[in-house]
Amino acid sequence: MSGDRVGIVLVSHSAAVAAAVAELARGLAGGGDLAPVAAAGGGPDGGLGTSAALIAAAAQDVDAGAGVAVLVDLGSAVLTVKALLAEGDELPEGTRLVDAPFVEGAVAALVTASAGGDLDAVAAAASEAYAYRKV
C-alpha cells in the first residue's frame, strides 16, 4: 500500500510526453513499492495543450492525504495549475506546484516520495535537479 505517501502529477502539453516521463520515472526509481504518479497530458480536445479537468482528476487519483506534487512543462501548463490552485477547491488539499525541470524533477520527486519523503522533501528534491549542470 502506498498509504500516506506524496502523490505526483506530471502535466505536459503532450499526452505522450506526460505518459512517457511517468514511465521513465517509474523505471528509474526502480524496485519496490513506488509512490503514486499520474500523467495529465494534452488539451481538452486530446490535442496539444493543457486540460484543467485532466489535471484535477490526476491529482485526485494520486492523493493519499500526504499532499500532491505537481510538475509541469511550460506555458499554459504552468498557468493552468496556478489558476487551479488560486481557485481553492479544484485540487486536493496539500497540492503544490513544484518548480523543477520536468524530466529530471519527475525522477527525483518519485524516488523521494517512494522513500517516504514528505511534500517539502519531494519538492526540494525535484527543485534541486535544476542545480545539476550537464556541461
By CB under 8 A, is residue 94 in contact with other proteins?
no
Alpha-carbon span 80 to 107, nearest angstrom: 22
**Chain position carrying cell 499520474:** 38
User: Please, what is the minimum distance in Å from the beta carbon of residue 120 to other proteins?
Assistant: 24
By CB under 8 A, is residue 91 in contact with other proteins?
no
Q: Edge-to-edge, what's the strand order for the sheet holding 68-72?
A: 37-41, 7-12, 68-72, 95-97
By CB under 8 A, is residue 82 in contact with other proteins?
yes
CA-based radius of gyration for the chain: 13
By CB under 8 A, is residue 100 in contact with other proteins?
no
Which three cell numbers mark 26? Answer: 517509474
By CB under 8 A, is residue 16 in contact with other proteins?
no
**Chain position carrying cell 499554459:** 76
Q: Which of 42, 48, 39 is nearest to 71 (CA)?
A: 39
By CB under 8 A, is residue 95 in contact with other proteins?
no
By CB under 8 A, is residue 65 in contact with other proteins?
no
Determine which residue in the list 75, 99, 116, 120 makes contact with other proteins, applying CB under 8 A: 75
By CB under 8 A, is residue 14 in contact with other proteins?
no
Which residues of this protein are in contact with other proteins, per CB under 8 A? 43-45, 47-53, 75-76, 79-80, 82-84, 86-87
